[in-house]
Structure 1
Amino acid sequence: MPIFITYATYSQNGVRGMLKKPADRTGPVKALLKKVGGKLLAFYVTTGENDVVVISEAPDGTDAVAVGMAVAASGAVSKIETVRAWKAKDFVAIQKKAAKLAGAYSPPGK
């Protein structure tokens, strides 16, 4: 199953909710991923630009994006970004495909 990394930043409403009722948010995220046939691999609360980093598996990108949209619709986050990730050994096939395509693209002005 494809792996996705999601970065999220809590909104003011999300922070207010956490202060009102402190809780580990891993369970709700795990349950949401399960609804799309996915699996939570890791959930981290972080410092810096992003407040949360979620590593998950989902059947495809549309499922991962739908989960992010559902969380965003709750108003708990002000920013959310989901990216596809590959294990290094699996990325070799993509490199080989790109090598076959190298030189086939004609850049603008040529």
Structure 2
Amino acid sequence: MALYMLQAKYTPEAIRNIAESGSNREDVARAVVEQCGGKLIGFYGMLGQDYHIAIIVEYDDLPSYLGTVLTTVLGGAIADFKTIALYSSDDVVKASAVYQANKAAYSPPSS
């Protein structure tokens, strides 16, 4: 399973609509993520950042995550976004084992 953080910036119109309607966007995000095959881990607002929200999601595969991004971004309420791939400390332990097993196979360029 892969974890991703999607940071998104709403359009001014979307912010106005959220403020006026009082809708819970976490519920909407959860429904879209689950429909696209993922799991919503967290939904957070951010102050003092270039983006308004950070959504942490888990997916079995990258195409399902990308489908979720397309579904939400092309909906028109998102002005800008970025994806950050996340990893756990267990991933670092596993990466270290790969490194230990393969480090002799690489030699840096020399003069």
TM-score range, shorter chain: 0.7 to 0.9
1:38 Cα deviation after fit: 1.0
Cα distance, 1:52 vs. partner? 0.3
Task: Give me the CA root mean square deviation.
Answer: 2.3
User: Is there any run of 5+ residues in structure 2 with no aligned partner, and where?
Assistant: none
1:104 deviates by: 3.0
Structure 1's consecutive aligned runs of 4 or more residues displaced over 6 angstroms after TM superposition are none
TM-score for both structures, normalised by structure 1? 0.82
Task: For 1:34, give the aligned amino acid.
Answer: E
- TM superposition shift of 1:81: 1.4
Say how many residue pairs are matched.
109
How do 1:92-103 residues align onto structure 2 when only pairs under 5 Å count? Answer: 92-98=93-99, 100=102
Check 1:103–1:18 CA distance in 2 against 1; reply closer, same or farther (3 A cut). Answer: same
Between structure 1 and structure 2, the one with the greater Rg is 2
Quote the residue 1:25 is aligned against. 25
Q: Report deviation, 1:94.
A: 2.1
- Residues 63/96 of structure 1: CA separation in 2 closer, same or farther (3 Å cut): same
What is the TM-score normalised by the length of structure 2?
0.82
- Structure 1: gaps (5+ residues): none
**What fraction of aligned residue pairs are identical, expressed as a percent?**
20
Code of the residue aligned with 2:35 in structure 1: it is K
